[in-house]
């Protein structure tokens, strides 16, 4: 469907994303203040982060290490030499009058992140990363947050928090692809332990640059680039991009021939009206009067340090998906579901799969039972009451025919909701194996009571056996459906002789 839409629309969507993530450090980028979220305003500040004259910044080593981790995992080059620059602008939440950032010599550049191609589940698409650099966050302006007061307040607790700014090339071709990129990036940073990427708390923020390349008889014409801000969820990013595509296409159709001289602009996403509105025309980087920060020494990075970081990355989502597929024989869809839940769930799954010896069966139980239960309660797998080895034992009983999958689900339900052991849950449900003698007697009763079905089966229409199984289960929920089927068919065949 999307392919058709792309072919019918005479334009290509061009999206590039700038993502700011807060790094998981205890202290700020250039001072020792705590980065803890949610503390009373202006309680986590010092002369350095509130910009007192004469105070001197010192780089947080841990922040640089985390940034390197992310950059290496994003396949970036790590230059041997990197420096700090002042980005000068005035805003009430920036008391220094400049942000310490990196301009022409960022700590990393030229990487890529692979995402699933939305048109085909099996193929991958590489989104190139232009650069990732370190900088400090500004404070927070709170407007009219106290009822009845039309004032603004400044909280500088966040000022100086380490940020990694990850800038993609304009390689994204649809709003859905933008969302897929963000989802994969967040997952990667979570696995690395570099950032918690919590959008509600502002530890991941997205700005999007978007325009259209329109096919015209005179060649391709680009609509002016719009930077969209103020998107508070990945879904909001997708919706804002969809809105901008429509808006820019409408604008181009109305005034296309004049768009050549329109400068870049910044628009804000409004969640209430689900629209973007113009904020200001976009400043150029020269407007910021970048210059090297004279208070900070440049950083040199050795090859050995980069290799050390590379060795510390651990298994990353892309490799993990492949390993799960190869080791446990599950589909790319299933490995994606499991890996996207995070490392703890994957560990639970692999323990279960190893213990029960069947990766596909283990994947079904995790997805249909464990994840559903956790999802309904908004809990993590650490809170799941049944350990993988115990669940494996339960699955083993189902596989050996002690009882069926549906009964196994009931057993698990008693275990997780009633806190029962496996044996007690089985006893509580009155599950006991039905021996063959009892089964034969039951089947004989059913055959005697259903001469019509017996006649049909003898005419070569075995479908009716399903009804017999249903009746058998009603009579005794512990019977094994497969065994009932076998016995019924055997016994009917004997009548024939």
List of residues contacting Mn ion (CB under 5 A): 165
Strand pairing of 85-88 and 219-222? Answer: unpaired
Q: Considering only 47-55, 380-388, 474-482, 483-491, which stretch makes contact with Zn ion by CB under 5 A?
A: 47-55
Residue number, 100 or 426, with CB nearest to Mn ion: 100
Token output for 361: 């069966």
From the list Mn ion, Zn ion, none, which binds 313 (C-beta under 5 to 8 Å, kind-based)? none
From the list Mn ion, Zn ion, none, which binds 338 (C-beta under 5 to 8 Å, kind-based)? none
Contact 398, 408 (CB under 8 A): yes
Residue number, 159 or 395, with CB nearest to Zn ion: 159
Q: Considering only 46-54, 179-187, 260-268, 313-321, which stretch makes contact with Zn ion by CB under 5 A?
A: 46-54
Residue number, 131 or 407, with CB nearest to Mn ion: 131
Residue number, 136 or 238, with CB nearest to Mn ion: 136
Residue number, 161 or 203, with CB nearest to Zn ion: 161
Does 411 engage in binding with Zn ion (CB under 5 A)?
A: no
Specify the DSSP class assigned to residue 172: B
**Number of residues that this document lists for the chain:** 497
How many residues make contact with Zn ion (CB under 5 A)?
5
From the list Zn ion, Mn ion, none, which binds 46 (C-beta under 5 to 8 Å, kind-based)? Zn ion
Q: Measured on CA atoms in the order 301, 307, 308, 314, is the torsion positive or negative?
A: positive
Q: How far apart are CA 209 and CA 489, in angstroms?
A: 67
Least distance CB 28 / Mn ion (angstroms)? 16
Contact 28, 161 (CB under 8 A): yes
Q: From the CB of residue 437, how many other CB atoms can be counted at a distance below 10 Å?
A: 8
Residue number, 167 or 453, with CB nearest to Mn ion: 167
Least distance CB 20 / Mn ion (angstroms)? 6
Contact 492, 464 (CB under 8 A): no
Q: Measured on CA atoms in the order 243, 248, 249, 254, is the torsion positive or negative?
A: positive
Among 19, 23, 33, 457, binds Zn ion (CB under 5 A): 33
Does 156 engage in binding with Zn ion (CB under 5 A)?
A: no
Residue number, 31 or 178, with CB nearest to Zn ion: 31
Bridge partner list, 278: 267
DSSP helix/strand/coil, 164:
strand
Side-chain half-sphere CA neighbours of 242 within 13 A: 10
Residue number, 165 or 293, with CB nearest to Mn ion: 165
Q: How far apart are CA 193 and CA 202, in angstroms?
A: 17
From the list Mn ion, Zn ion, none, which binds 31 (C-beta under 5 to 8 Å, kind-based)? Zn ion
From the list Zn ion, Mn ion, none, which binds 33 (C-beta under 5 to 8 Å, kind-based)? Zn ion
CB neighbours of 294 closer than 8 A, spacing ≥ 6?
none
Exposed / middle / buried, residue 332 (Cβ in 10 Å: 0-12, 13-18, 19+): middle
From the list Zn ion, Mn ion, none, which binds 127 (C-beta under 5 to 8 Å, kind-based)? none
From the list Zn ion, Mn ion, none, which binds 299 (C-beta under 5 to 8 Å, kind-based)? none
Contact 169, 105 (CB under 8 A): no
Among 9, 46, 199, 433, binds Zn ion (CB under 5 A): 46
From the list Mn ion, Zn ion, none, which binds 49 (C-beta under 5 to 8 Å, kind-based)? Zn ion
The residue behind tokens 């030499």 is 81
Q: Considering only 23-31, 203-211, 354-362, 398-406, which stretch makes contact with Zn ion by CB under 5 A?
A: 23-31
Least distance CB 64 / Zn ion (angstroms)? 17
Residue number, nearest CB to Mn ion:
165
Least distance CB 101 / Mn ion (angstroms)? 6
Helix (H) or strand (E) holding 440: helix 436-449
Residue number, 59 or 176, with CB nearest to Zn ion: 59
Residue number, 165 or 238, with CB nearest to Mn ion: 165
Least distance CB 166 / Zn ion (angstroms)? 25
Give, in order, the Cα–Cα distances in Å from 200 to each of 2, 175, 190, 321, 487.
Answer: 31, 21, 15, 28, 60
Alpha helices in 256-302 (DSSP H): none
Residue number, 286 or 382, with CB nearest to Mn ion: 286
Helix (H) or strand (E) holding 111: strand 108-116
Among 29, 31, 68, 197, binds Zn ion (CB under 5 A): 31
CB neighbours of 228 closer than 8 A, spacing ≥ 6?
207, 208, 209, 210, 240, 241, 244, 266, 267, 268, 269, 276
Least distance CB 165 / Mn ion (angstroms)? 4
Q: How far apart are CA 286 and CA 290, in angstroms?
A: 7
From the list Mn ion, Zn ion, none, which binds 227 (C-beta under 5 to 8 Å, kind-based)? none
From the list Mn ion, Zn ion, none, which binds 165 (C-beta under 5 to 8 Å, kind-based)? Mn ion
From the list Zn ion, Mn ion, none, which binds 177 (C-beta under 5 to 8 Å, kind-based)? none
Alpha helices in 9-76 (DSSP H): 61-73
Does 49 engage in binding with Zn ion (CB under 5 A)?
A: yes
Residues in touch with Zn ion (CB under 5 A):
31, 33, 46, 48-49
């Amino acid at each position: 469907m999307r392919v058709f839409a792309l072919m019918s629309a005479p334009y290509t969507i061009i999206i590039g994303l700038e993502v700011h993530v807060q790094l998981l450090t205890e202290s700020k980028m250039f001072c020792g203040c705590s980065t803890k979220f949610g503390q009373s305003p202006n309680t986590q500040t010092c002369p350095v982060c509130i910009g007192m004259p004469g105070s001197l910044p010192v780089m947080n080593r841990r922040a640089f290490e985390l940034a390197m981790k992310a950059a290496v995992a994003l396949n970036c080059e790590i230059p041997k030499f990197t420096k700090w620059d002042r980005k000068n602008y005035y805003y009430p939440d920036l008391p220094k009058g400049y942000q310490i950032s990196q301009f022409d010599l960022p700590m990393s550049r030229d990487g890529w992140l692979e995402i699933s191609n939305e048109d085909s589940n099996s193929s991958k698409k590489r989104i190139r990363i232009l650069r990732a650099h370190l900088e400090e966050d500004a404070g927070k302006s709170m407007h009219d947050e106290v009822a009845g007061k039309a004032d603004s307040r400044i909280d500088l607790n966040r000022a100086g928090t380490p940020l990694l700014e990850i800038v993609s090339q304009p390689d994204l071709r649809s709003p859905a692809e933008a969302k897929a990129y963000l989802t994969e990036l967040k997952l990667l940073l979570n696995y690395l332990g570099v950032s918690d990427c919590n959008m509600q708390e502002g530890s991941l923020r997205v700005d999007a640059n978007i325009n259209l390349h329109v096919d015209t008889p005179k060649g391709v014409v680009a609509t002016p680039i719009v930077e969209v801000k103020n998107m508070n969820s990945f879904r909001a990013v997708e919706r804002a991009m969809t809105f901008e595509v429509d808006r820019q296409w409408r604008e181009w159709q109305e005034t296309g021939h004049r768009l050549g001289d329109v400068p870049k602009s910044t628009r804000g996403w409004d969640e209430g009206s689900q629209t973007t509105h113009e904020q200001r025309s976009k400043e150029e980087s020269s407007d910021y009067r970048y210059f090297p920060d004279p208070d900070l020494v440049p950083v040199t990075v050795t090859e050995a340090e980069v290799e050390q970081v590379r060795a510390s990355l651990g298994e990353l989502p892309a490799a993990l998906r492949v390993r799960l597929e190869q080791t446990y024989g599950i589909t790319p869809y299933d490995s994606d579901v499991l890996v996207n839940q995070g490392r703890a769930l994957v560990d639970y799954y692999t323990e279960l799969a190893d213990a029960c010896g069947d990766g596909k069966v283990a994947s079904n139980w995790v997805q249909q039972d464990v994840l559903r239960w956790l999802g309904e309660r908004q809990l993590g797998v650490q809170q799941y009451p049944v350990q993988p080895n115990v669940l494996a034992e339960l699955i083993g009983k189902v596989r050996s025919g002690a009882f069926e999958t549906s009964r196994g689900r009931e057993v698990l339900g008693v275990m997780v909701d009633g806190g029962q052991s496996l044996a007690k849950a089985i006893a509580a449900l009155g599950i006991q194996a039905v021996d063959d003698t009892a089964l034969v007697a039951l089947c004989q009763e059913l055959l005697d009571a259903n001469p019509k079905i017996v006649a049909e089966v003898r005419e070569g229409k075995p479908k009716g056996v399903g009804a017999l199984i249903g009746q058998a289960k009603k009579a005794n929920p512990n019977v094994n459906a497969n065994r009932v089927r076998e016995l019924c068919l055997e016994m009917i065949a004997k009548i024939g002789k």
